[in-house]
Structure 1
Amino acid sequence: MDEMGVGARTSRARKLARLTQIQLAAKANVSLSLLRKVEQGDRPASPAFIAAIARVLGVSIGDLTGQPYTPDSADAAAHATIPELRRAIVAFNDEPLTGPTTFDDLTTALDRVRQGMRRARYTDLTADLPDVIRGLHMLADNENPGRELEAIYSTLAYAYSKAMLFAYQYGYLDLAGLAAERCGWAADRSGDPIWPLAAEYNRALILLYSGAYVAGSKTIERAYTASEQLDTTPDLLAVRGALHLRGSILSARALDGDTAESHIQEARGIAEAIGDDRYRNYGTGFRPSNVAIHSVAVPVELSDGTTAVSRAESIRLPASVAPSRAGHHFIDVSRAWLLHGDKQRALGSLEQARMVAPELTRNHPQVHETVRVIARARRGTDTLARFARWANVKI
């Protein structure tokens, strides 16, 4: 059960640091009015707000969000995978392997993980990931230099990218960061010049969450510059498009709306250029629909609920969109409606997120924030109370 919101944790940490609200607002470069509303529970704490406050108070972002959340029975299996995944990432192949050992079997197991994560089903399909990572390391150690070894490292880079996303989803940010670094390590050995660019895309996610928006933007710019030295292919264009989308959120959280919108336009142009071509997206999930999703996320991060709602109203996600992507979209739409002042529709969007991606929704800190703010105005509503109980949020 998530017992406290970001506002209450911010207030507690601020008092422990012996700072007044005026002092903290000035040091974090946030408005005093916003800080007061967040501490009172009247306004959700945005990711950018949380990162700024954590930096000033010298605490981790998890200290303010409460992640990783104490698991209930529905999420226990996913959390139970984390220690084994941590050992696999740290120990490489120094522990006995109990799962598949051939390259074909390992790639089949990894594809099951990919499909599960695409459907936002983490609990029952990620348990194979630690042994996949161990097995690929063992194969790499026993393979001679050449294309076969490079194929193993390419697959290992992908496995680490999935480990990063899994750990990130459940709030284990130190592990997510380590997996992102390992992804880059394997990418550099893959023999594929595009993989290191995708690894930088992954590393930028960790910088995004950490509030290191300048460093994240530089990472994106560096990867994009490197991409310009390669032959232009649909595969490369897809990764470039993904870099633009990550750059759009980094810029939005840094309150640079013009740059954020420029990234969206560039990504949209790339999506149109690729068209129906078949391409490999290196786990970035770049699609035209993902450009539309990010076009809503950008104004949400800029606290522009009106623009976000307007854009969301014109979007109809195709059935092919991964539930994990659709879940994130509906969470952003909920945040947009809350910013717009319509708490009923904000709750309705959360219900949509729950329908398509329950595990993601239950463990998303912005869902917890939105639920608490809605509860301040609509305490006693049966629908809200049921959702809060399901999400393990105390209101």
Structure 2
Amino acid sequence: MDDLGVGARIARARRLARLTQVQLAQKANVSLSLLRKVEQGDRAATPALTAAAARVLGVSVGDLNGQPYEQEQGDAGAAHATIPELRRAIVAYDDEPVTGPSSFGDLADALDRVREGMRRARYSDMTAELPDVIRGLHQLADDDLPGAQREEVHSALAYAYSKAMLFAYQYGYLDLAGLAAERCGWAADRSGDPIWPIAAEYNRALILLYSGAYAGGLRTIDRAYAASEQLPTTPDLLAVRGALHLRGSILSARALDRDTAESHLAEAGGVAAAIQGSRYSNYGTGFRPSNVDIHSVAVPVELSDGTTALSRAERIHLAGSVAPSRAGHFYIDVSRAWLLHGNKAQAFRSLEQARMIAPELTRNHPQVHETLRVLAHTRRGTDKLAHFAKWANVKI
């Protein structure tokens, strides 16, 4: 990819489409002044603006973000290098030979390591084993297993595909993430567990969120929630419902529907209170009470309301037990809030916190790249900023 920022890519695509800034702003339903600032590099392009521009210009969100980012060294380079093997495993699934562990116990152990790598946002740790886990589980699913064991294998496959989806999404391979989400749904339908298909819809909604298909994503959430109401209420089911509400809150915020976003947040808070202290499985959604707090900041950030986001962030103390992947997202959103608030020094300090907690996540997050470029636009020559940008492979 090129070294441009999102604003410059939007401007280039707009000119190729023979549209003026006024025409693009009207067709994308965005403010002309905001579009001008984004194209000039004075404002960060929000995910919602990027998706709206991509729709009008006939390009993908990934094209405007410049994803997947090229990384040649370190953990990020190692993670990118595993994508071809993961792609082969997902595309071929049960038509490739198994070279890794073959017993369900060994595959479950490997899947636990993948889970921990994702929790710690150490994606390079998890990707090396994931293709063999997928192949091995498919081989077991093809064996003549009793019904209960076959369903257990498909539950593990649904989880493996959900992690493959999330990894591909984090690194900007949206086509692969979409395919993994579909495979997750396929396995979930064969798991014998009525909660898994609901969790699979939660995963699918993430792909729609990234693509800017907010109405479709919200319909997916509503459909999954309606299905959940047909099942007996358990802590496991409540955790998945809470996750659906959190995803619905971000989808609604991106669609600029503040009331619905806040309603989803309130419902998620109620779920968190109801299951506090209970033991439950979250089906890979990562739902925790702390996640509600984190989303309470993310929602106003997506609505470009930095004041509300910072007011809420001041009241949040993330415990040490919060997964680095979640804490990293929190500080990235706090950085965006400070930038909206006009405090560039605090915005950069929050990015430094995100990097310390979850370096791989921070290096590959599009909003980190956008924030760095806007900071550089007004603070060019700052050594710490230049070193950070070089680490993240962002040309400023």
Alignment TM-score, normalising by the size of structure 2: 0.99
Equivalent residue number for residue 161 of structure 1: 162
What SS does the aligned partner of 2:111 have?
Answer: helix
User: What code does the residue aligned with 1:65 have?
Assistant: N
How many angstroms does 1:143 deviate by?
3.0
User: What code does the residue aligned with 1:47 have?
Assistant: P
Equivalent residue number for residue 44 of structure 2: 44
Equivalent residue number for residue 337 of structure 2: 336
Q: Is the 8 A contact 1:2 1:392 kept in 2?
A: no
After superposition, the C-alpha distances for 1:56-114 in whole angstroms (9 at most, x for unaligned) are 00001111000001112021110111111111111012112111000000010111111
CA distance in 2, matches of 1:295, 1:268: 10
How many angstroms does 1:126 deviate by?
1.5
Q: How does 1:89-128 map to 2 (within 5 A)?
A: 89-128=90-129
CA distance in 2, matches of 1:277, 1:125: 28
Equivalent residue number for residue 29 of structure 1: 29
User: What code does the residue aligned with 2:8 have?
Assistant: A
Equivalent residue number for residue 266 of structure 2: 265
CA distance in 1, matches of 2:11, 2:250: 27
User: What code does the residue aligned with 2:319 have?
Assistant: P
User: What code does the residue aligned with 2:141 have?
Assistant: A
CA pair 157-274 structure 1, distance change in 2 beyond 3 A: same
Say what the alpha-carbon RMSD is for the aligned residues: 0.9
After superposition, the C-alpha distances for 1:207-259 in whole angstroms (9 at most, x for unaligned) are 00000000000000000011001000000000000000000000000000000
Equivalent residue number for residue 217 of structure 2: 216
CA distance in 2, matches of 1:166, 1:372: 25
Number of residue pairs the alignment of both structures matches: 395
Q: Is the 8 A contact 1:6 1:65 kept in 2?
A: yes
User: What code does the residue aligned with 2:178 have?
Assistant: G
CA distance in 1, matches of 2:72, 2:80: 10
Equivalent residue number for residue 371 of structure 2: 370
What SS does the aligned partner of 2:127 have?
Answer: coil
What SS does the aligned partner of 1:394 have?
Answer: coil
After superposition, the C-alpha distances for 1:114-159 in whole angstroms (9 at most, x for unaligned) are 1011101111332000010000000000133510000000000000
How many angstroms does 1:197 deviate by?
0.5
User: What code does the residue aligned with 1:376 have?
Assistant: H
CA distance in 2, matches of 1:184, 1:347: 39
Equivalent residue number for residue 84 of structure 1: 85
CA distance in 2, matches of 1:3, 1:219: 35
User: What code does the residue aligned with 2:139 have?
Assistant: M
User: What code does the residue aligned with 1:144 have?
Assistant: L
CA pair 311-305 structure 1, distance change in 2 beyond 3 A: same
Q: How does 1:267-286 map to 2 (within 5 A)?
A: 267-286=268-287
CA distance in 1, matches of 2:122, 2:275: 29
Q: Is residue 57 of structure 1 aligned with residue 35 of structure 2?
A: no
Equivalent residue number for residue 175 of structure 2: 174
User: What code does the residue aligned with 1:261 have?
Assistant: E
How many angstroms does 1:2 deviate by?
6.3
Equivalent residue number for residue 15 of structure 2: 15
Q: Is the 8 A contact 2:114 2:125 kept in 1?
A: no
Q: How does 1:124-139 map to 2 (within 5 A)?
A: 124-139=125-140
CA distance in 1, matches of 2:206, 2:142: 29
CA distance in 1, matches of 2:306, 2:2: 26
Q: Is the 8 A contact 1:2 1:70 kept in 2?
A: no
CA distance in 1, matches of 2:304, 2:2: 25
CA distance in 2, matches of 1:334, 1:182: 35
What SS does the aligned partner of 2:192 have?
Answer: coil
Alignment TM-score, normalising by the size of structure 1: 0.99
CA distance in 2, matches of 1:93, 1:204: 26
How many angstroms does 1:332 deviate by?
0.5
Q: Is residue 317 of structure 1 aligned with residue 295 of structure 2?
A: no
Question: Which consecutive residues of structure 2, in runs of 5 or more, have no partner in the other structure?
Answer: none
Q: How does 1:191-270 map to 2 (within 5 A)?
A: 191-270=192-271
CA distance in 1, matches of 2:10, 2:72: 25
Equivalent residue number for residue 350 of structure 1: 351
CA distance in 2, matches of 1:218, 1:196: 15
User: What code does the residue aligned with 1:336 have?
Assistant: A
CA distance in 1, matches of 2:220, 2:144: 32
CA distance in 1, matches of 2:364, 2:158: 25
Question: Which consecutive residues of structure 1, in runs of 5 or more, have no partner in the other structure?
Answer: none
CA distance in 2, matches of 1:264, 1:106: 36
What SS does the aligned partner of 1:190 have?
Answer: coil
How many angstroms does 1:341 deviate by?
0.6
What SS does the aligned partner of 2:278 have?
Answer: coil
